[in-house]
Amino acid sequence: MSAAVEPVHVDAHCIVAVKPSGLLAVPGRGAHGQDCLAARVQAGFADALVVHRLDMSTSGLMLFARGAPSQRALSSAFAARAVHKRYVAVVHGRVDAAQGEIDLPLGADWPNRPKQKVDRAAGKPSLTRWRVLVFDAARGTTRLELEPVTGRAHQLRVHLLAIGHPIVGDALYAPPEVIAQADRLLLHASSLRFTHPHTGEAIAFESAAPF
């Protein structure tokens, strides 16, 4: 087990930490799946409880509750879409419009698990807002800021693939030439804003993308 992480915020009711790409958010199967951000945070703060998750390949800000009352309050906030998250991603190709929305229902791609897919017949409503930050002509990529209004599994990855702009380094969804452009998924949870479970005050954190 690796050493405890150094969180970006700690108080009596919640913890915010940055998950590296390639580290599980919560424990996985088998002995090799026990090292995860939750375990590393709990090594330093035994009362830390999981509130939400990030994909293993995604880096960025994760929120933990301290104690069951805070976990209930924060979980309810996530369920009510009262926790606002923004991500930075680098995608293949040039995104021409300055901003937009992707409103496509998503569901499990059962023959190809754990993949998800656009499923207009039986998928759950899913909405992603995006805006262009910069186009890199030399690499043929666009840096985007993303806001997932809903929180479906792999939502950002599948939505961007669906509009023809897969995320660079996405080994699960991108074509080989796009995967090869980076040694990791270029997706980072860069902003987290929520209501403090005890004080009721608005609280926000930022984390610069490491790519």
Residue tagged active-site, from 11, 35, 47, 55:
55
> Where does 86-187 sit in CATH, by number?
3.30.2350.10
- Provide the pLDDT for residue 169: 98
CA quadruple 63, 38, 89, 172: dihedral sign? negative
18, 59 contact by CB (below 8 A): yes
- Provide the pLDDT for residue 3: 62
Distances (CA, A) of 177 to 1, 163, 169: 35, 17, 9
Q: Which residues, 6+ apart, have CB-to-CB distance to 25 below 8 Å?
A: 19, 36, 37, 38, 50, 53, 54, 55, 56, 62
| The one-letter amino acid at 23 | L
pLDDT averages per 10-residue partition of the chain, 211 residues = 79 97 93 91 96 97 97 96 97 97 97 96 98 98 97 97 98 97 98 97 98 97
Question: 55 catalytic, yes or no?
Answer: yes
- Provide the pLDDT for residue 2: 61
Residue span(s) of the chain under CATH 3.30.2350.10 come to 9-83, 86-187
- Provide the pLDDT for residue 99: 98
- Provide the pLDDT for residue 4: 65
Report DSSP state, residue 132.
Answer: E
Instruction: Tell me the CATH number of domain 9-83, given options 3.40.50.300, 3.40.640.10, 3.30.1490.20, 3.30.2350.10.
Output: 3.30.2350.10
